[in-house]
Amino acid sequence: MKTLKTLIGALLFCIAIPLQAQTADEILNNYFENTGGLENWKNLKGIKMAAKVNQQGMEIPIEMFQMKDGRQMTKITFQGKEIFQGVYDGETLWSHNFMTMKAEKSDAEQTANFKLNANDFPDSFMDYKEKGYTVELMGKETIDGAETFKIKLVKEPITVDGNQEDDISFYFFDVDNFVPIAVQSEIKTGPAKGQMSESKMSDYQEVDGLYFPFSMTQGLKGGQSQPITIESIELNPEVDETAFAFPEDTENKEE
């Protein structure tokens, strides 16, 4: 009997190893299934979001565009002016300088890092193995009173000041409905370098069969955060291709 128990114990141990490796995938499969189905996500061509950011009590309207081919754009309306940030046309990354209000191209390093994420539409976890990413279930953790699965996502290395660094994020999936309610990642540059950024998502709503969070916050882990309220989401929007292009007349004026 003792030998049988030992044999069963060893067998269960051997089985547990591959089961643990599959657990993260099971969570991700449930996530895609619960939010509209993997095939429907794969068929998505683009997303347009209209939102308001609460900045020190002031609500600032923003529009965000993400396209399947990697093109992205965020448009901020502030004091009657349109300010563009993180605009990417597939080759060039540019933004408006908040001080001069002139369009400026990002440097080669920033552009290369941004380009790495271009194939993540609409979700980093979609086909992650084909992209060379890895995921790992780190266990469970409580976020704002909710029990979550903590999943570590490792993507392609990014370049920071000429050196390659791991691109690691931690996603927290609600154990009941398998949707992510928080994302944490280390800030690599700027005054907050070395600190953990944290985004939180809630109020998931259906848009043409797919589910999106309509309430978010962004900030530092354990610190202040900015509330973002999504007002509307349009799937597969028609967008003028020239909207993403760098305004070349800016360069001509500077010359």
Q: Name all domains of the chain by residue range, CATH numbers in brackets.
A: 2-254 (2.50.20.10)
pTM beyond 0.85: the answer is yes
pLDDT at 249 over 70: no
| Over residues 102-111, mean pLDDT | 97
- In this predicted model, what pLDDT tens digit does every residue of 77-88 receive, in sequence order? 998 899 999 999
Q: Please report the pLDDT score of residue 15 as a whole number.
A: 39
Residue percentage of the chain with pLDDT more than 90: 82
pLDDT tens-digit series, residues 193-204: 999 999 999 999
Alpha helices in 35-107 (DSSP H): 38-42
- The secondary structure of 117-128 as a DSSP string is GGGG-S-TTTTT
Q: Which residue spans within the chain are E strands per DSSP?
A: 46-55, 58-67, 72-78, 81-88, 93-96, 103-105, 134-143, 146-160, 163-174, 180-186, 196-207, 210-220, 225-235
Residue 240 phi/psi, 5° resolution? Answer: -65, 125
pLDDT tens for each residue of 33-76: 999 999 999 999 999 999 999 988 899 999 999 999 999 999 99
Least confident among 18-27, 33-42, 137-146, 167-176: 18-27
